[in-house]
Each structure stands twice: as structure tokens, then as C-alpha cells.
């Protein structure tokens, strides 16, 4: 009987792996088909897809200025990284007919999406192994077995690949897939304890879009404690303190029974210090490359001013799916600097309480940080939403339980679909038909911001309820074993 069950389990695993690669190939084929219809789709001109920081058209303009021996930051078009300009700039050279060569750039973004999916899958597998070991040490392994339909890594990768927002960002010639690649690479390196890789991904992600700088907190927790696991929190409560109805002697007896492998993981400072050292090394190297690239037309200070200063001061008020453009278009100039400080400090005020509460789940903390920064950043795009929606698949086992299931899931999904269908309509009524005004488009943006707030609140509540449920089951098992 055991041999048959093992054979059945191996067959199921092979079928799951086969189906994953089939869906992966289908997603690539679907993207390649859509690439041949760029004019009909006209996605690259959509404000939801292309922002002043992610637009390939602006990058092509910056590369043309650079080829003309001028600074790519001379005009008001390009505000991205010089490294990204050197990487993608040659691919934007126009053809003889005068049409931009979008095909090679699209292929780069398709490859970036595939790499993102593979890294998400590998990270999800690492998290699932840690989760199973944690539950096994607490004799609660049946929870994961009963709730698992597919491996969480496969689910997260497929959600990322087949998310319409990911496909739109890829086909719409947005540089978001490359920025997402740097973020996912950093999280993958931290989960695998590959310190140089984690530091490189974090430095590149911070260099490209600045906001991933806040991910240094979950990455330090990942390197210090290891991947997400409720074992640390539960064992600290289970064996570190005497229960109200248990004597100290009985607790000491319980501690003697535990193996050393089941004890809570102590925070390790060695990989954290190595990470900080490698981060300094990679930052110096990136600045050196940027200095070499900028030496022809300017200095590093111009890059900081026109790139990071542009992000922090919100100079471009063209419409996007964020809320800052409308607010700063209406606010008086006298109060502009004050509200700039308030909006940017909001992120800093949120990250520390969340880090204290979710320190035992650093990957989930990174997901929350990415969602919050996507909501509060100066120039958000659908590529940011595609990233955190894909990362949410890592925690499908924790958030899909009957007693801790996320509320309003169907409502959130429906309103997400409604927002991204109505956004082009409202933009068309405002800009092209003239039958609406800016409030029409801003209504979809503020609804989108509210959706992200609800998503963060519900996911954090569900995760904490899941940990609370495990704690209760663990304590119940202790009392049953004692009796």
C-alpha cells in the first residue's frame, strides 16, 4: 500500500510539473502573438502602463540625445538610469521606415517575465519547504497537506505570468519587468542565503526606482532568521515561557524532549554584516559605472537631481493610476514642500510597526512593503501591481484556510477588474471626447488606492489569524500530550 501511494504521489508531482511548463510555454506564446499588434493595442501610450520613469519612448528620446553628444537629461523626457539607457538604448534605434524597433525590446521584456516567474517559483518552493518543516516540528503537518492544491511557488509563478497586468506591462513596452526582476532577484538571494546576489538585486532595484530601499528590513530579517516560518514565534511561546496552567518543572521536561533542530532559530548577524558589506561594494560599482556613462555629458550629481530628485519632488503631473498627480495639481505652491514631506514620510512611518509585528514572516513583510510603495509612490504603473499580486501566491496555503480565509476576496477581484476596465474609458472621456473632466479619471485612481489598502489590511489580518490558529493548535496539543 505504501509503495502504491508513493507511486501515485510521484505521478501527481510529474503531472503538476508538466502542467506548469505547459502553461509557461503558453504564456510566452501568447505574449509573442500580442507583440505583433502594437499599433492596434496602443498600450505603450497608456498612462496606466507607461510612466515618466518606465516609458520606452522616453528612453528612446534620451538615447537619441546621448547619441547626439547631448545629455539625456537635457530635456524633460528621460529620468531613468544611465545603465538602463546603455542596456536598452541600442534596441530602440529606429528603422529605415521611421518606426521604432519594438520587437527586440519586447523580446527582452518577455525574457525578463520568464526569469521573474522562475525566480518566484524557486523562492516559493523554498518558503514551502520551510513552512512544512516548521509544521512538522510542531506536529501540525496535516494543515499544509489538507490545504495544498498546487505548490505555492507554481501558483505564484503562474499568477504572475497570466496576470493581465503583467502581460499589458510587457506588451506595452514598459521597463517595469526589469525593475521587478531586480526586486525578485534580491528576495530570491535572501531566501537562499546567497548574500552577494541578494545585495546586488537590492542595490539594482534601489538604483532603478528608489522605493525598494525599504526592502532592506525584510531582507535583513530573511538573512538573519531564514525564510518565513511560524516555528520561531510558536516555539518561543511554547517552550520559552511557562503556561499559566503548567508548572515550571513540566516546561523544563518538555524542553529536554525537544531536539536541537526544533529550537527557535537565533538571529545570525554574520550574513547581515556580509550583506551590508556587499551592498556597499555593489553600490560603489554601480556609481562607478554611472559615472563612466555620465562623464561624456555631465556628472553624477545631474543624475541624482534628474532621476531621484524627479521622483521625490513629483515634477511631472501627467495623469497616472496614482493619487499624487491630482493632489499636487490642486495644492497651492506655498504648501507643496510640506505635503511632499508628508507623503514620503507616510511610507517611513508605516514600515517600522509592520516590521515589529511581522518580523517572523519577512517574505510576507516584503510583499506588504511592495504593495504599500506601489500605492504611495510618485509614478505607479500596472507593473507594480503585477508584482505584488504575483507574490501574494506565495502565501496561498496560509491565506486559503477556512477559518482564516481572506474576506472580500471576490469583491476585491471584481473591483480590480472594474477599475482597470473603466480607467481607459474615463481617460478617453476626459482627454479625447471632452465630455468629462479630470475627476472622472481620478475617481478610478482613488478607487484603486482604496483597493490596495483593503488588500493589505485583509492579507495581514488573515496571516495573523493563521499564526494565531497555529498557536492555539500547538497549545492544545501540549495539553493533550500532557494529559
Q: Which of 67-71, 83-87, 293-297 has the lowest mean pLDDT?
A: 293-297
Name which residue leads in pLDDT, 88 or 264: 88
Please tell me the predicted confidence (pLDDT) of residue 272: 93
Of 36-50, 56-70, 165-179, 228-242, give the lowest mean pLDDT range.
Answer: 228-242
What is the pLDDT averaged over residues 292-310?
83
Long-range contacts of 197-203 (CB under 8 A, 24+ apart): 198/222, 198/223, 198/275, 198/278, 199/275, 199/278, 199/279, 199/281, 199/282, 200/278, 200/282, 202/279, 203/279, 203/282, 203/283, 203/286
Residue 447 pLDDT more than 50? yes
In the prediction, which pLDDT does 334 show?
86
Lowest mean pLDDT among 142-151, 226-235, 354-363: 142-151
What pLDDT does residue 11 have?
54
So what's the pLDDT on residue 253?
42
CB atoms near residue 416 (< 10 Å): 19
Q: Picking from 209-223, 248-262, 292-306, which range would have the lowest pLDDT averaged per residue?
A: 248-262
**Model confidence band, residue 150 (pLDDT cutoffs 50, 70, 90):** low
Range of weakest confidence among 81-95, 179-193, 272-286: 81-95
The whole-angstrom separation of Cα 315 and Cα 385 is 23
- CB-based contacts of 236, cutoff 8 Å, min separation 6: 264
Nearest CA to 182 out of 160, 161, 217, 207 is that of: 207
| CB within 8 Å of 469: residues ≥ 6 apart | 401, 403, 404
Q: Tell me the backbone φ, ψ of residue 174, rounded to 5 degrees.
A: -100, 145
Q: What is the pLDDT of residue 17?
A: 59
Mean pLDDT for 301-305 is 87
Q: What is the pLDDT of residues 388-438, one digit of tens each?
A: 999 999 988 888 765 566 777 788 888 888 898 898 889 888 888 878 788
pLDDT tens digit sequence for 324-357? 999 898 888 888 999 999 888 888 888 999 998 8
Confidence of residue 233 (pLDDT cuts 50, 70, 90): low
How do the domains of the chain map onto residue ranges? Answer: 22-233+260-482
Model confidence band, residue 1 (pLDDT cutoffs 50, 70, 90): very low
Q: Which of 19-28, 110-119, 399-408 has the lowest mean pLDDT?
A: 399-408
The SS3 of residue 308 is helix
* CA dist., res. 172 & res. 169, Å (int): 5
**Across all residues in the chain, what is the average pLDDT?**
81
CA–CA separation, 449 and 346 (whole Å): 14
Residue 18: pLDDT above 70? Answer: no
Secondary structure in 3-state letters for 324-381:
HHHHHHHCCHHHHHHHHHHHHHHHHHHHHHHHHHCCCCHHHHHHHHHHHHHHHCCCCC
Residue showing cell 534628474: 306
pLDDT-based confidence at 257, cuts 50/70/90?
very low
Tell me what pLDDT residue 12 has.
57
Amino acid at each position: 500500500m505504501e509503495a502504491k501511494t508513493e507511486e501515485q504521489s510521484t505521478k501527481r508531482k510529474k503531472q503538476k510539473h508538466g502542467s506548469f511548463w505547459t502553461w509557461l510555454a503558453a504564456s510566452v506564446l501568447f505574449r509573442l502573438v500580442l507583440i505583433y499588434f502594437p499599433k492596434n493595442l496602443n498600450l505603450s501610450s497608456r498612462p496606466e502602463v507607461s510612466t515618466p520613469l518606465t516609458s520606452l519612448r522616453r528612453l528612446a528620446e534620451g538615447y537619441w540625445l546621448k547619441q547626439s553628444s547631448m545629455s539625456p537629461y537635457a530635456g524633460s523626457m528621460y529620468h531613468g538610469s544611465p545603465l538602463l539607457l546603455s542596456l536598452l538604448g541600442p534596441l530602440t534605434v529606429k528603422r529605415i521606415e521611421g518606426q521604432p524597433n519594438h520587437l527586440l525590446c519586447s523580446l527582452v521584456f518577455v525574457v525578463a517575465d520568464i526569469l521573474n516567474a522562475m525566480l518566484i517559483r524557486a523562492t516559493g518552493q523554498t518558503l514551502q519547504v520551510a513552512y512544512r518543516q516548521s509544521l512538522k516540528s510542531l506536529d501540525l503537518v496535516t494543515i499544509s497537506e489538507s490545504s495544498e492544491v498546487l505548490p505555492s511557488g507554481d501558483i505564484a509563478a503562474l499568477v504572475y505570468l497570466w496576470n493581465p497586468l503583467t502581460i499589458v506591462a510587457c506588451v506595452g513596452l514598459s521597463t517595469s519587468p526589469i525593475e521587478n526582476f531586480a526586486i525578485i532577484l534580491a528576495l530570491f538571494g535572501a531566501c537562499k542565503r546567497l548574500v552577494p546576489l541578494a545585495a546586488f538585486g537590492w542595490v539594482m532595484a534601489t538604483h532603478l526606482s528608489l522605493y525598494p530601499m525599504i526592502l532592506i528590513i525584510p531582507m535583513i530579517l530573511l538573512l538573519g532568521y531564514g525564510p518565513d516560518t511560524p516555528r520561531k514565534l510558536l516555539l518561543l511561546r511554547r517552550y520559552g515561557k511557562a503556561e499559566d496552567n503548567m508548572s515550571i518543572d513540566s516546561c523544563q521536561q518538555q524542553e529536554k524532549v525537544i531536539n536541537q533542530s526544533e529550537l527557535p532559530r537565533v538571529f545570525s548577524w554574520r550574513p547581515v554584516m556580509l550583506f551590508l558589506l556587499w551592498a556597499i561594494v555593489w553600490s560603489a560599482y554601480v556609481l562607478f559605472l554611472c559615472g563612466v556613462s555620465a562623464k561624456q555629458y555631465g556628472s553624477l550629481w545631474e543624475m541624482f537631481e534628474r532621476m531621484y530628485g524627479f521622483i521625490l519632488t513629483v515634477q511631472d503631473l501627467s495623469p497616472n493610476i496614482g493619487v499624487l498627480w491630482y493632489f499636487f495639481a490642486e495644492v497651492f505652491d506655498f504648501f507643496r514642500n510640506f505635503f511632499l514631506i508628508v507623503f514620503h514620510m507616510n511610507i517611513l512611518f508605516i514600515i517600522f510597526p509592520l516590521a515589529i509585528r511581522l518580523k517572523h514572516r519577512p517574505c510576507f513583510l516584503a510583499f506588504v512593503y511592495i504593495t504599500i510603495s506601489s500605492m504611495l509612490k510618485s509614478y505607479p504603473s500596472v507593473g507594480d501591481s503585477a508584482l505584488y499580486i504575483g507574490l501574494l501566491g506565495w502565501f496561498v496555503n496560509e491565506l486559503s484556510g477556512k477559518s482564516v480565509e481572506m474576506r472580500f476576496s471576490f469583491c476585491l477581484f471584481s473591483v480590480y477588474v472594474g477599475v482597470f476596465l473603466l480607467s481607459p474609458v474615463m481617460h478617453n472621456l476626459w482627454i479625447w471626447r471632452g465630455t468629462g473632466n479630470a475627476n472622472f479619471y481620478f475617481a478610478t485612481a482613488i478607487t484603486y488606492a482604496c483597493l490596495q489598502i483593503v488588500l493589505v489590511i485583509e492579507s495581514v489580518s488573515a496571516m495573523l489569524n493563521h499564526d494565531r490558529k497555529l498557536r492555539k493548535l500547538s497549545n492544545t496539543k501540549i495539553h493533550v500530550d500532557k494529559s
